[in-house]
Amino acid sequence: MLEARGVSKMFGQVRALNDVDLKVGPGVTGLLGPNGSGKSTLMKLFAGQLLPDEGAVSLLGADPFRQPTALRALGLCPEQDKFYEELTGHTFVEALTRLHGFGRAEAKKKARTAMDRVGMGDYGHKRLSEMSRGMRQRTKIAQAIAHDPPIVLLDEPLTGADPVARADLIDLVRGLGDEGRCVLVSSHVLHEVEAMTHRVVFIRFGRVRAHGDIFRLRALLTDRPYRIHVEVPAPRPLAARLIALEHVVATAVISEGVLEVTTLDLEAAARDIPQAAGALAQVVSAFTSPDADLESLYRYLISAHA
């Protein structure tokens, strides 16, 4: 639904994107990378706000810059606020929905539906100038989805939202993906992206470093073993049994009742550790890995190459 083919973009002497090839389909995809990596530039190219210096981008097979009608399929929530401050939230979303070609009555109905969906139904009468940052963020998302687009671009959509609003918006983003929309989300908050999706794109210095399912990408890093923390009543006998396994590199008792197992194969460890504990008549009360989540993958692919 979104595609970039050999895309490069320069700003003066700075190459913001360098030969990017990427395809994004239905569902939610997280776009991750440090500041200046090219995330917002890629978003603006997909939104038809910038023209690539090399290569091409497409929305549903159409060029958003040369075929403006393609933008009817797109909803955009930009990182920065650009509001008509004197308008109410409902009026603002209605006005932008009318720009997509809807009549007054239909645009008004769609605007109210979208404001209700983002939790702003009771606050849409407030002027934008009077809204909190979190309310303004919700209103931005409402205008991006009011016209029911199949493609939604969300650039830092949770900025300024309080914890309750963040949880609500995460559910909203997941729901948009479950409806079959293509949702591309750019964010710096890794655990929130992980709550939305397990499909991610890592970008660094304007190049795509990796993209795909978090767990499949992590499994490809064969030179990076997994640490697993296992809580059992007696960790030392379990450590002695596990160290004999081929995929186990090391074991260490790190605190009372907690064993750290270093393995090359997380799936095998998840199978073998409970079996070994059961053979010792022990019950595993907790099984966690600090090396199998999005934060660890980001650390290996991005931070380690800073």
Beta bridge partners of 20: 7
CATH class of 2-217: alpha beta
Mean pLDDT rounded to a whole number for the chain: 92
Cα–Cα distance for residue pair 206/188, rounded to 1 Å: 16
Where do we find the tokens 């009026």? 91
Cα–Cα distance for residue pair 177/151, rounded to 1 Å: 10
Q: Report pLDDT for 219.
A: 82
The residue among 186, 165, 234 whose CA lies nearest residue 80 is 186
Cα–Cα distance for residue pair 113/61, rounded to 1 Å: 29
In the predicted model, is pLDDT for residue 306 greater than 50?
Answer: no
Phi, psi at residue 198, to the nearest 5°? -105, 5
Where residue 304 falls among pLDDT bands split at 50, 70, 90? Answer: low
In the predicted model, is pLDDT for residue 76 greater than 50?
Answer: yes
Tokens matching residue 203: 């970008």
For 198-228, write each residue's pLDDT tens digit.
Answer: 999 999 999 999 999 998 888 888 788 999 9
In the predicted model, is pLDDT for residue 50 greater than 50?
Answer: yes
Beta bridge partners of 223: none
Cα–Cα distance for residue pair 239/70, rounded to 1 Å: 59
Share above pLDDT 70 across residues of the chain, in percent, rounded to a whole number:
99
For 137-165, write each residue's pLDDT tens digit.
Answer: 999 999 999 999 999 999 999 887 888 88
* Architecture label for domain 225-290: 2-Layer Sandwich (3.30)
pTM of the model: 0.86
Q: Is the dihedral of CA 29, 197, 146, 126 positive or negative?
A: negative
- For 292, half-sphere exposure in the C-beta direction (CA atoms, 13 angstrom radius) is 19
Residues 54, 7: contact at Cβ < 8 Å?
Answer: yes
Question: 54-59 and 27-32: which strand pairing?
Answer: unpaired
For 18-45, write each residue's pLDDT tens digit.
Answer: 999 999 999 999 999 988 899 999 999 9
More confident residue, 193 or 81: 193
3 state SS for the chain: CEEEEEEEEEECCEEEEEEEEEEECCEEEEEECCCCCCHHHHHHHHCCCCCCCEEEEEECCECCCCCHHHHHHEEEECCCCCCCCCCEHHHHHHHHHHCCCCCHHHHHHHHHHHHHHCCCCCCCCCEHHHCCHHHHHHHHHHHHHCCCCCEEEEECCCCCCCHHHHHHHHHHHHHHHHCCCEEEEECCCHHHHHHHCCEEEEEECCEEEEEEEHHHHHHHCCCCCEEEEEECCCHHHHHHHHCCCCCEEEEEEEECCEEEEEECCHHHHHHHHHHHHHHCCCCCCEEECCCCCHHHHHHHHCHHHC
Where in the chain are the domains? 2-217, 225-290
